[in-house]
Amino acid sequence: MPLSEHEQRLLEQMERALYAEDPKFATSLRSGPGRASRGRAALGVLVLFAGVAMLMVGVIIPAIAIGVAGFVVMIIGAALAYSGLRNRPAAKATTAEGAAPAASAKSPKQSSGFMNKLEDRWRRRRDQGQQ
């Protein structure tokens, strides 16, 4: 379903405001998680398996250096896979869109969406108890 002209103007206005406020964040939202991150995740899994193989060889042949190197390669592979699978733009977009203006003005470091929901529930309970 296409957007109306009014909705398109509002969306463009919000994009300009976001870009003016934080250009680096706006650029990261535009780039998205594309193929490069999937390739990085696949590379990370392959490096992780290579590290496991090196670790097993280090255990079978009593060579501590190969085992330690295998463990380090496993850590690097896990970090690569995690960075490839992590979806930073979507997570930031939900906190940026879902946060109330008063909450963002209150603290420069925004909490996660889950914490915002818990705080909202707590405030509603407290407000209902005072009435």
| pLDDT tens series, the chain, 131 aa | 677 888 888 888 888 887 888 777 767 666 655 545 778 888 888 999 999 999 999 989 888 999 899 999 999 999 888 887 775 544 444 444 444 444 444 444 555 678 888 888 888 887 887 76
Confidence at residue 36, expressed as pLDDT on a 0 to 100 scale: 55
pTM for the full model? 0.42
Compute the distance between CA of residue 120 and CA of residue 131 in angstroms, rounded to an integer. 17
Compute the distance between CA of residue 73 and CA of residue 62 in angstroms, rounded to an integer. 18
Alpha-helical (H) ranges within the chain are: 5-21, 23-31, 34-60, 64-85, 88-98, 101-106, 113-130
Confidence at residue 31, expressed as pLDDT on a 0 to 100 scale: 60
Residues in Cβ contact with 30 at an 8 Å cutoff, skipping those fewer than 6 apart? none
Confidence at residue 49, expressed as pLDDT on a 0 to 100 scale: 93
Confidence at residue 57, expressed as pLDDT on a 0 to 100 scale: 92
33 within 8 A of 89, measured Cβ to Cβ? yes
Q: Which amino acid is at 90?
A: A
Confidence at residue 119, expressed as pLDDT on a 0 to 100 scale: 83
Confidence at residue 37, expressed as pLDDT on a 0 to 100 scale: 75
Confidence at residue 32, expressed as pLDDT on a 0 to 100 scale: 57
